[in-house]
Structure 1
């Protein structure tokens, strides 16, 4: 990110504050709700992806550790749904590795379009206070398998995984369960970056990590608010986040293919 204009550095810093906020506030969105805007400021995905990956490992690990000590000795109040996590990882790990290796290449436009249309449908159901509770295990399995593959090729599996998790995990466990899942998946991706010699942008962490930390603290407070608020408020916030993902994704997909 050398030789950028001052406004670009300011914009990137603000977007990493936003990234930290949505990640700790919702449990997802640190990449998918931020990367499209970062690319509009400076189109260099291989610069941003390692930075976002390291931030996720740092802050998700910190949040999970804090939650563990806060609820130690009270397993009934745990914030991670381990049965769902094991189920998701067993389904996602093989397609994740395939995506990382690049063995299978699906048309990007087809995969992205499918993801964002499905997410938009989920989001609207949440905003209308009629959350979709999937009882179709075959469809959920398909979403998790495809989410694993998409996670291997990029860091934007959340649109596929979050609706499945939201249907099967209690809301007070949703964020931390997703954090553990992202931690494992992103660790694999980061290892692949290191193995292939990708620049992990360590020098940029000196100024972007504090930006993400500010957003992280604000997001923690927001997350506490959503847990205290009425269930309808929680699902509307979740729906707004998912709809933002789908709209940004569809607009970007349309502009890049026309």
Structure 2
């Protein structure tokens, strides 16, 4: 990540603070609620994806360990208490692993403009669901499985599978287990993606981590406090505002991709 202007570095740093806040506060959305804005600053998905992936690995592991430690220190907590639903994880990984690998192959081989356009389209669909407060949901096992398979592919291409996977998880996992269960799932899926990046010789942007990891850490601490609040509060307004912003950015990004294609 070189040859950028000062304002681009500043905005990217702030966006990684935001990404860290969302990731630890909600347990999902660190990529889907950040990546479209990053692509508007500098359209290079293969620069951002390795950075986001490493951050997710680091902070998801840290959050899970902290949650397990706190849960076992509670006076009325059994020694075997966990905040992770391992049964759901087995179900999710069986459905998501193969499409995940297909998606990773795509993001490595496809041009940056195609990957960015795909991200903008997917995020625009998510944004509409946030604005209308109609998240993806199903009472059908078949549709649940379809969401997980699609989520595996989208995760492979762009790390923005949360809106597909979270509704399925929310219907099968207790609320106090949801965030940490998702973190373990993201950890496994992202580890696969990073291994594929390393094997393909893609730059993992280690130098950028020196200044972006502290930015994400600031957001992470803020998000941990917000998580306690979100367990008690209605976050519908929060998501409507986010959806409006995401839709505007996604449409602007698609417009820019179209203009570049015509030019």
On whether the aligned pair clears a TM of 0.5, the verdict is yes
Aligned partner (choices 201, 211, 215) of residue 211 of structure 1 = 215
Give the whole-Å Cα distance in 2 for the aligned partners of 1:21 and 1:214.
8
Superposed CA RMSD in Å reads 2.9
- Aligned residue for 1:51? 51
Q: Secondary structure at the match of 2:133?
A: helix
1:115 deviates by 7.0
Gap regions ≥5 residues in structure 1: none
| 1:163 aligned residue (154, 163, 167) | 167
CA distance in 2, matches of 1:236, 1:175: 20
- Matched residues, number: 250
Which secondary structure state, in structure 2, belongs to the residue aligned with residue 189 of structure 1? helix
In the TM superposition, structure 1's runs of 4+ consecutive aligned residues that sit over 4 Å from their partners are 107-116, 234-248
- Correspondence 1:8 to 2:8: yes
Structure 1 position 153, deviation (Å): 1.8
**Tell me, which stretches of 5 or more residues in structure 2 are unaligned?**
none
SS at match of 2:150: helix
Are residues 121 and 37 of structure 1, via their aligned partners in 2, closer, same or farther at CA, if it must alter by over 3 Å?
closer
1:201 alignment partner in structure 2: 205
Q: Which residues in structure 2 correspond to 1:93-172 (within 5 Å)?
A: 93-102=97-106, 113=121, 116-117=124-125, 120-121=128-129, 124-125=132-133, 134-172=138-176
1:169 to partner: Cα distance: 2.1
Measured after TM superposition, the shift of residue 87 of structure 1 is 0.8
- Larger CA deviation: 204-213 vs 25-34: 25-34
Give TM-score scaled by structure 2 length. 0.82
Q: Deviations over 1:33-52 (max 9, x none)?
A: 11111121122221111111
Which is worse superposed, 80-89 or 184-193?
Answer: 80-89
User: Does the CA contact (< 8 Å) of 2:101 and 2:153 recur in 1?
Assistant: yes
Structure 2 residue aligned with 1:63? 63
Q: Normalization by structure 1: what TM-score?
A: 0.84
